Structure 1
Amino acid sequence: MKEENTVSLLELDRKLSKIIRQARNGQVLVTNRNKPWVRIVTLKANAQAHQVPAKHPLRQLRKALELDGAHAIALWQAVADPPLGIIPASLSRALLLQMLYSIDTFKKLYEKIGYNLAFRHFVGVEPCGCLWPYRQFERAARAMSQSSLMAAPAEIVLAHPITESENGREFRIDDALLHRWRAQANLADSAAERLIPPSAGVLSPSSALPAAVLQQGASRRCIDREQTG
């Protein structure tokens, strides 16, 4: 961290605008009668000082998602027409929060991303950055949630050890939403197999996933069928 500057209260009164500009480059300590009084810190610096802990489960889940480059590319291609106006990877992570914490409406999800630093970091929104307009977010989130795209990242986070660990106890998985995403992906895979021969070398939505994740997803689908059978 940069060394803080020190100014007197009298100097602050005389050169306020200049000192405020100075605070953009590092916090400024204001003294009153030669004693520390207040610090001037930018909102961004203040937010960064209270950033998400390194061991927070959402940090680890985001790293796992970022390693899956193939799926990120698939997301970009899938939403290119029509454009949703929001980075697909960020939008998919926002929807994962809805599943992980059983958030029942897009409005509540949007509000929680607005004030929760851990959610902001996971989605990819700057600590003090503005969110997208709500109507744009709702339209994009609804479109992606109703597509076959969300099962893949959902399987990645569910297969991560942190989800079942002590640190992952804060998660309250929305099983109904997860089941719907899996059903949509299975339907899309079946349609793709009917239209495109396997020898064509075209990836289905789930084939972009690592083998271990696919195995985990298959196990969970078997459990779902046993429970609903």
Structure 2
Amino acid sequence: MKRAGLFMLVLFPAILLGRGNPWRAGLSSLILPGSGEHYLGLKTRTYGFLSAEVSLWLTYAGFTYHARRLDEDYRIYAYSKCGADPDRADGDYWQAIELNMNRDAYLEKLWREARSYYPDNPDSQEAYVRQHAVAGDWNWPSKAEWFYFQDMRKASRITRQRAEVTLGFIIVNHVASAVDAFISSRLLGDSGASSFDFDIRINPSGRSTVALYRKF
């Protein structure tokens, strides 16, 4: 049943758009990579683009899920070690905990900034601190635990960055398939054969490669 549904998803744009129009082929693949190649009869390339689309979305979902789990882990860790509020969702709060060992050090940093901005104006200094200080208290018992928390936050950021990169490759896959379908339709109309090919790969470390090339 799932295979039949996937087949109809690929076939439906082809039924609507007809065959032989480069712009329609490109638009079809821009919406769903591989669909333009499908109604042009390019089965291998259809499988390649569609497989890349599915793999990329699964990779994106995996990175996103893992990043959320890492967020939960570092919040629970901070709650158990330094008394942070695990329910806080604002980024400024967690950044302050990451960059400062305790709230006193954090406030002292803000006061230094305030004095540098308003050296002769105590009222402005106080207003600056009130405006920029985040609510909440924390105190890391040791630098080792504080540094470990920083590593956890870094791991979360890296995972989210990989998710963003994967999302970029999803866009690339759509555009590349659209270009490939457009060019292939033109070439098929001229000579009945196409010599362009496309390849996209992602390995477990997050490194990715994309290639659109022509065979001679």
TM-score range, shorter chain: under 0.3
TM-score by length of 2: 0.23
Q: Which has the higher helix share?
A: 2
* Higher RCO (Cα < 8 Å, 6 or more apart): 2
User: Could you say which structure has the larger radius of gyration?
Assistant: 2
